[in-house]
Amino acid sequence: MATVTVEATTRAHIVEVADELFYARGIQSVGMDAIRTAAGVSLKKLYSAFPGKEQLVAAVLSGRHDLWERGIERAVAAASTPRDRLLAMYDFLEHWFGDATFRGCGFINAFGELGATSPSVARIAREHKESFQRFVAGLAGEVVPDRGTAEELAAQLALLAEGAQTTAAISGDASPAGHARRAAATLIDAATRA
């Protein structure tokens, strides 16, 4: 039993280190040897845990997906009304953008680097974005009873969030979250009046 725990702990540590390196420097610029060195594990242990870089990238993206979902769900759960829950997404983004380590969406970054050459990275990025779209659609359905209108609103709100992430990463400024939040409020109000 202890061996499984040590292996799971080592694997989680490798993923954490790889995530930090990939997010800060880019996936293609970080080799397995750099990950091994930073993680303080042998090359044999690294390749035992992850037979190839693609498997490690998938594990890193899976961890990022879980982190994203927990953060956005926590922000939304703290809001009191359906409208406020939709807007809470942008408050979460503003907090994230203000973090000194923020470098944009890890999925957009990974897709930009590897999407054309790695079908698995492209699939993982699409699944993440589709998951977010479904989440927003669920929230929009609480605000707008008409399903078609709610789905259109959700698509618009998700695009605002995606655009804010990209703009904040490029500008190095958290203000795109506030701009997106105000635009989202306008869209929500228009949809509820329709």
Burial class (CB in 10 A: 0-12, 13-18, 19+), 18: buried
Tell which residue, 129, 173, 185, has the closest CA to residue 155.
129
User: Are residues 185 and 95 part of one domain?
Assistant: yes
pTM comes to 0.91
The whole domain housing 9 covers: 1-51
Please indicate, yes or no, whether residues 71 and 166 belong to a single structural domain of this protein: yes
Q: Token pair of 49, please?
A: 């845990």
**Is residue 71 domain-shared with residue 42, that is, in the same domain?**
no
85 and 181, same domain (yes or no): yes
Distance, CA of 105 to CA of 151 (rounded, Å) = 23
* Same domain, yes or no: 70 and 114: yes
Indicate which CATH number applies to the domain containing 168: 1.10.357.10
100/144 same-domain check: yes
Under DSSP, the state recorded for 81 is: S
- Per residue in 144-187, pLDDT (tens digit) is 999 999 999 999 999 999 999 999 999 999 999 999 999 999 99
Largest CA distance in the chain: 61
Q: What percent of the chain has pLDDT over 90?
A: 94
| Same domain (yes/no): 30, 82 | no
- Per-residue pLDDT tens over the stretch 126-151: 999 999 999 999 999 999 999 999 99
Q: Specify the 3-state DSSP secondary structure of 116.
A: coil
Same domain, 85 and 173: yes
CATH number at residue 7: 1.10.10.60
pLDDT at 194: 74
d(CA 50, CA 59): 9
